[in-house]
Amino acid sequence: MDFDGERKELQRNTQTFDAQLQNFEIALLNTLNYYGLPTASVFVSVDERLVVARNIEQVLGKISRDKRSQSVYMSKFIVATMSGLFDAALNYLWDETISELRQRVATYDLSFFCDNAGISQDKRSRIKSAEDLTLIEDSELINGARKIELISEIGYKHLDYIRYMRNYASAAHPNQNQLSGLQIVTWLETCIREVISLPTPAGAVRIKELITNIKSKVISNIQEAKGVAAFFVHLNQEQINNLALGFFGIYVQPDTTQQTRQNIQYLLPYLWGRVDELTRKQLGVKYGKFVSVNDTERKNLARQFLEQVEGLSYIPEELHAIDLEDAIKNLLHAHRAMNNFYNEPQFARQLQRIVGDFGKIPVNLNEWYVLALVEVFLTNGYGEVWAADPIYRSLIGLFDAEQASIAILSFNEINISSRLQFPRCRNKYLELLELVKPKISAVALKELINDIENFSGPYDKMKDDSRIKRKVANLKKLIG
């Protein structure tokens, strides 16, 4: 068949499909009418469904046939799309994506994932297999997957946006949002490209192999350890930090074998020198947590780990810092989960009470505390928790100059920059700048605030702007 013939055949097929969709919709509307149910705004228009139909084959072609044959939620996605129920289709697409991500995490290493995703010890103790990953919130799952590089930073940002739309524009909640065929196809392609058909990155594969080997093989001397640790020089800072957290988590587990702990002891000297200060402080706080809950076995193992690297100085002087750590975790969990409007205020009040008791935030938690407070103040992008907002403003009002600087520079953190793609979060960030301005005296920081306020591009891309990056780098040198 020549080109014109193929084009005419495609047009005939499209017209036939158009008529089929129209007839199907009429039958469904007649059924709704028969039962006296509403019929207005139930289905997306046939034209929008045809946009999906014309593009679906090319997009689905990026998934292997074997994987497609197991993708039940993808089948439901297509059925919902062709039925004109785009809100339900988005729900099924997200279910397929999360299901795939859980399988990838399970085949990687569950304990390593939990340590890097910041999963609480109580929840972690119940996670033994892929099925148990349903205990983890979607936001925790994609953030943890990013931390161990099962998805990229850009992939995380896209998924964070789709998760936002799934929560507030899909059938997951009552809503009247209208989704277009182009949006649905784009989100489908994003989920396929960034998760469903994404090969595991080489760095993540190497780390996975290392974690597997230290649990199953023997490092018997320093020379062997040097050989194993040789690839550390190729890891970036985040990978180094993640590996340190992972080693610590494995080391303190009661069921870890003594051989595995010995393997870690051999490797630690080649890793610790590159672990950043924030991660070292986090390990010190973890030790304090075991002390506070009287977990003697893990406390002793954690101390042993820190002794190996002469890191006892990172144990917090005030073990009450553990209460503050728990309060921050509880608040972030409530904020990132569904129904945060109702659940978040009680945890905001809990944090306020603890901060009031401290008077000053412990050094070990200072940066994390500020970044957490910035995240909740910016909102989730959909709505503001009115009962909690005055508490956040009050706590921000207590910032000293260092904390104010951390808050201003928070746009460099992926969790914060991802939020800045939403208009409400961007406006709240500008409000934050107004709140902390009185704390700032450094001229360079004042200039950066002015540059931020006059930045003309998308705020979620501001951290990658060459001019802003240069100013931030110079500023960090000035303030140490």
Model confidence pLDDT, tens digit, residues 351-397: 998 887 555 788 888 999 999 999 999 999 988 999 999 999 999 99
What per-residue confidence (pLDDT) applies to 61?
87
Query: How is residue 14 written in tokens?
Result: 């499209």
CA–CA distance, 254 with 18 (Å, rounded to integer): 62
Poorest-pLDDT segment among 64-73, 134-143, 316-325: 316-325
pLDDT band at 152 (very low <50, low <70, confident <90, very high): confident
pLDDT of residue 16 exceeding 80, the answer is: no
List b or e across 338-369, with b for residues whose CB sees 16 or more CB atoms inside 10 angstroms.
Answer: eebbebbbebbebbbebbeeeeebbbbbbbbb
Give the largest Cα separation in the chain, rounded.
80
What per-residue confidence (pLDDT) applies to 304?
93
Higher pLDDT, 255 or 11: 255
Using alpha carbons, list the distances in angstroms from residue 117 to 107, 139, 142, 145: 16, 10, 9, 8
pLDDT of residue 313 exceeding 70, the answer is: yes
| Arithmetic mean of pLDDT, 287-310 | 88
Exposure of 194 in the CB half-sphere (CA atoms within 13 A):
25
Specify the DSSP class assigned to residue 469.
H
What per-residue confidence (pLDDT) applies to 6?
47
CA–CA distance, 260 with 246 (Å, rounded to integer): 13
Q: Over pLDDT 90: what percentage of the chain?
A: 44
Q: Any alpha helices (H) in 109-236, and if so which ranges?
A: 110-117, 121-124, 138-147, 153-169, 181-191, 202-216, 222-229
DSSP 176-212: -----HHHHHHHHHHHIIIIITPPPPHHHHHHHHHHH
Higher pLDDT, 23 or 55: 55
CA–CA distance, 54 with 48 (Å, rounded to integer): 10
What per-residue confidence (pLDDT) applies to 199?
84
Instruction: Answer yes or no: are the C-beta atoms of 392 and 373 closer than 8 Å.
Output: yes
Average pLDDT, the chain: 86
Specify the DSSP class assigned to residue 456.
-
pLDDT of residue 15 exceeding 60, the answer is: no
What per-residue confidence (pLDDT) applies to 35?
82
CA–CA distance, 382 with 3 (Å, rounded to integer): 48
Any residues with CB less than 8 A from the CB of 102 and at least 6 apart, and which? 130, 133, 134, 141
pLDDT band at 10 (very low <50, low <70, confident <90, very high): very low
Query: How is residue 311 written in tokens?
Result: 């890191």
CA–CA distance, 287 with 253 (Å, rounded to integer): 13
Instruction: Answer yes or no: are the C-beta atoms of 148 and 108 closer than 8 Å.
Output: yes
Query: How is residue 368 written in tokens?
Result: 């994390």
